Structure 1
Amino acid sequence: MQDKIGQKLGTSRWFDVTQGLINQFSASTLDEDPMHLDPDWTRANTPFDGSIAAGFWTTSMLITMSHDIGFIEAFGEQTGRHFYALNYGFNRHRLITPVPVGKRIRSHMSLRDFADKGAGKYLLTIDVEVEIEGEDKPALIAEWLAMVVVQE
């Protein structure tokens, strides 16, 4: 992975932002904010033309997008050993543009750093940008951390 530092890991496929997904996320986080759940309320009370995804929903999609790109899986295949990956947090995380329900999003990921932490642990620092189809500004930019643990 050292030779991939600074290189693009990949771009995920497009994911539909549906009201159903946003409702499920809101239910699971006990968030009843009408901005995410009620398009009529949102049109009447905000500058948005309908409901918007919670920023944490957009953030949570990074896991699915990273699996779609497959770079963690490729790392495991290169070692030939069993492994697992843990979300290790963020050095930087910004929600730039609200994501309207009805749009599509995808991510672009690049490897910023790869550090051997010993005992079969590797810390990946991944630059992420989540694009909103048809928008000039991204939904999210982040420096995301993943700890990959290779089992002996």
Structure 2
Amino acid sequence: MKDRIGETLGTSRWFDVEQSLISQFSASTLDDDPMHLDVEWAKANTPFGGTVAAGFWTTSMLITMSHDIGFIDAFGREAEPYYALNYGFNHMRLITPVPVGRRIRGHMRLRDFQDRGEGKFLFVIDVEVEIEGEAKPALVAEWLAMVVRHG
């Protein structure tokens, strides 16, 4: 994997930002902010023209995007049993709010790879979440994944 540092891991497919998903996320996190839930309120009281996704919803989509890209499969789960754990972030910024009704996708690149011994490998992944039709991304991050061999 050291030879792959700097390589693009891939780009996910587009994901629809649907009000039902944002509402479910808000319910599960006990976040009742009308900016995420009340379309009429958001139209009248925000510059976004309607509801927007919670930044943590956008962040949580990184898991789905990494699966879509096939991140862990590229590491070789077929040859040896591995699983990946979200290990956090060195850096993350939520740049542009994501309006409900738009689409997002993720771009990922391998920044670094470290063998931590005992079957543990730290991946540092540069991530950008693009909003379709927007010049600025929704999110940029340096994301950490700990891949662990098991079995």
TM range (shorter): over 0.9
User: In the alignment, residue 31 of structure 2 is paired with which amino acid?
Assistant: D
Partner of 1:132: 131
**Equivalents in 2 of 1:67, 1:53: separation in Å?**
21
What does residue 31 of structure 1 align with? 31
Tell me the percent identity: 75
User: CA-to-partner distance for each residue in 1:68-88, whole Å, 9 max, x for gaps?
Assistant: 00021220337x111111000
Aligned to 1:5: 5
Report how many residues are paired.
151
Q: How far apart in 1 are the matches of 2:48 and 2:104?
A: 17
Unpaired segments of 5 or more residues in structure 2? none
Equivalent position SS for 1:41: helix
Q: Give how far 1:118 is off.
A: 0.2
Query: Structure 1 residues 15-24 or 69-78, which shifts more?
Result: 69-78
What is residue 45 of structure 1 aligned with on the other side?
45
Mapping of residues 43-122 of structure 1, within 5 Å: 43-77=43-77, 80-122=79-121
Report the Cα offset of residue 131 of structure 1. Answer: 0.1
Over residues 32-55 of structure 1, what are the superposed CA-to-partner deviations in whole Å (9 max), with x where a residue is unaligned?
000000111011111111000000
Q: What's the CA shift for 1:2?
A: 1.2
Q: List gaps (5 residues or longer) in structure 1.
A: none
Instruction: State the partner residue of 1:20.
Output: 20
Which amino acid is 1:18 matched to?
E
TM-score normalised to structure 1 length: 0.97
Partner SS state of residue 124, structure 1: strand
RMSD after superposition: 0.9
SS in 1 for 2:127: strand
